[in-house]
A = this chain, B = another copy of it.
Amino acid sequence: MEVPLLVSDFLDRAVRLYPNKVAIVDGDRRITYRELDERVDRLSHALLDLGIERGDRVCMLSPNSHFYLESFYATAQVGIILVPLNYRLVAADHEYILNHSGVSAVLVDWEYTDVVDEIRERLPDVKHWIVAQDEGEPKEGWTSWNALLEGASADKPTRPAIGENEIVSINYTSGTTSRPKGVMMTHRNSYLNAYNMIVHNSLRHEDVELWTLPMFHCNGWGGVFALTGMAGTHVILRAIDGEDMMRLIADEGVTFACMAPAVLRTILDTEDLDRFDFKTKPRFTVAGAPPPAAFIERLEKELGWDFIQLYGLTETAPLLTISRPDANTEQEDWKRRSRAGVAGIGVDLQVLDDDGKPVPKDGVAIGEICARSNVVFAGYYQQPEQTAEAIHDGYFHTGDLAVWDQNESIHIVDRKKDVIISGGENISSPEIEDCLFQHAAVFECAVIGVPDEKWGETPVALIVTREDATASEDELIEFCRDRMAHFKCPTQIRFVAELPRTATGKLQKYKLREAFWDGDRLVN
């Protein structure tokens, strides 16, 4: 018997089997799975009642909230396509994305109505303006989400016969100088990624997940489906704050969280942890960039919490690889554990050279990470040329450069467009960054290649120092020369106040390079 793999399965199971369990903790609000299901069904009806049809696009612009979780399931079960927006983008970005995707209704958190109102006149396709807020009156020109629910049927809506290869969401990628591209995720992509999120993070029914990760980011790495399928509890976090996170971990018995390295740092920097009565030992899954090994060691040895590193992209739903202690990795091999790790079930991962051949598995040869898997997206929305550039010869080409070892454990060395080529040698900027991070005065750092008459390019390091520390340029260069091959060492150090990052914590090296390059390396 073949039944389509539809993400609605995950909520259906939780509601049928655990109706009275708390699905969501959002501030003072506790929502059971039965209540969540009713709100989801009412929202589906409300959207249909507005004339929104199967295949239409609806966006969600919001920090994490119970509304956000509702929007995924309310759209999916009736075949409406959700466009989750990065709330860190500016109005002009939203204008482009909403018009490009042809969104007909905007669902917007109450704190983000202003940014939409700025561009309201330039959104000809948008017919409906719906604001998510539990308290107070909606701003003029906005329809209350909760009022819509009250006026809608609580019956289970009729579900159309959706195929598993239909699109469930379009997730626009962010953080580049080019226009955002709309990553089309199918039900099947999301479903099989959710299985891998459960399997490789050992998600259990008893898990309580703290939403340190924005739900817009690749549908919370598929966690909105994975955790719901196990009928775990979602603890909403609206904004990153060390105190809030620690309080919620203690009060709600959090057992699991996904995050960018910057969030992990915030957690580790929270002072005076003895104030909190932790009853659980949560496991943290980190992705984005590999965190310094010292972070992992501190998390596991000082707090006794578990660290997992994950690697993937919006285009891969996202889980491609995962790094946990296993037959190939010792528990205390912190450096190795900060790496991307090994492929998930059903992920054929390759590190390929420019001719499309696998590079030697020697931990030295650098190639591009490519993946063939059901988690690979269906294409960029209305951009067939960009799709063909990304998916060809049977593989999705990630643009990330890596080495792999004989056990196919992946270590990312750079973005393809970020690699530094000096005197004909490829230099991995993260390797230099790892080295600089060992210096006590270095708080953050980024290494980029800049034009050099003799070598073509030369590495330059941009450094944010710790508040109470200083270091000279010569001292840091010497520090590197004592520890690395000299051709790899930075030839300049620039001290800066902060580094530009994307919404998900990735360094935006192209912005740093702008000061050094004329244009041809600016594309990102």
Chain A interface residues (CB < 8 Å from chain B): 1-3, 5, 9-10, 12-13, 16-21, 165, 188, 195, 198-199, 202-206, 229-231, 324, 326-328, 342-343, 345-348, 372-374, 376-378, 391, 396, 406-409
Given contacts A326-B205, A343-B13, contact A3 B372 (CB under 8 A): yes
**Bound Cα distance A345, B377 (Å):** 22
Q: How far apart are A293's CB and chain B's nearest CB, in angstroms?
A: 21
Check A407/B13 contact, CB under 8 A, given A202-B202, A230-B199.
no
A17 touches B346 (CB 8 A): no
Q: A289 → chain B, closest Cβ, in Å?
A: 23
Closest to A1 in B: B376
- Bound CA–CA A195/B199 (angstroms): 8
Report the bound CA distance from A99 to B322 in whole Å. 47
By a CB distance below 8 angstroms, the chain B residues around A343 are 13, 16-17
Determine the residue in chain B with the shortest Cβ distance to A10. Answer: B345
Give A518 Cβ to nearest chain B Cβ, in Å.
37
A328 touches B1 (CB 8 A): no
The secondary structure that dominates the A interface is loop
Which of B203, B326, B348 contacts A18 (CB under 8 A)? Answer: B326
Other 16 A-B pairs with CB < 8 A, given A13-B343, A19-B406, A20-B327: A1-B374, A1-B376, A1-B377, A1-B391, A2-B165, A2-B188, A3-B348, A5-B374, A9-B345, A10-B345, A13-B347, A17-B342, A17-B409, A195-B345, A202-B202, A205-B324
Nearest residue (CB) in B for A316 is: B1
State the CA gap A188–B188 with chains docked (Å).
Answer: 13
A378 touches B10 (CB 8 A): no
Q: Which of A1, A202, A342 has the most CB of B within 10 A?
A: A1
Indicate if the CB atoms of B1 and A326 lie closer than 8 Å.
Answer: no
CA distance A203 to B204 in the complex (A): 11
Q: How far is the CA of A122 from the CA of B198 in the complex (A)?
A: 50
Chain B residues contacting A198 (CB-CB under 8 Å) are: 199
Copies in the complex: 2
Q: Find the B residue at minimum CB distance from A19.
A: B407
**29 chain-A/chain-B pairs, Cβ below 8 angstroms:** A1-B372, A1-B373, A1-B376, A1-B378, A2-B165, A3-B348, A5-B346, A5-B374, A9-B346, A13-B347, A16-B343, A16-B408, A17-B328, A17-B342, A17-B343, A17-B408, A17-B409, A18-B326, A18-B328, A18-B407, A195-B195, A195-B345, A199-B199, A199-B203, A199-B230, A202-B202, A202-B204, A206-B326, A229-B345
Write out the residue numbers on chain B whose beta carbons fall within 8 Å of the beta carbon of A373.
Answer: 1, 3
For A188, list chain B residues within 8 Å (CB).
Answer: 2
Closest B residue by C-beta to A378: B1
B374 touches A2 (CB 8 A): yes
Also in contact, A231 and B327, with CB within 8 A (given A9-B345, A345-B10): yes
Instruction: Please give, as numbers and ranges, the residues of chain B lying within 8 Å of A372 by CB-CB distance.
Output: 1, 3
CA gap between A328 and B206 in the complex, in Å: 11
Identify the 6 closest CB pairs spanning chains A and B, nearest first: A1-B376, A21-B327, A17-B342, A195-B195, A205-B326, A18-B327
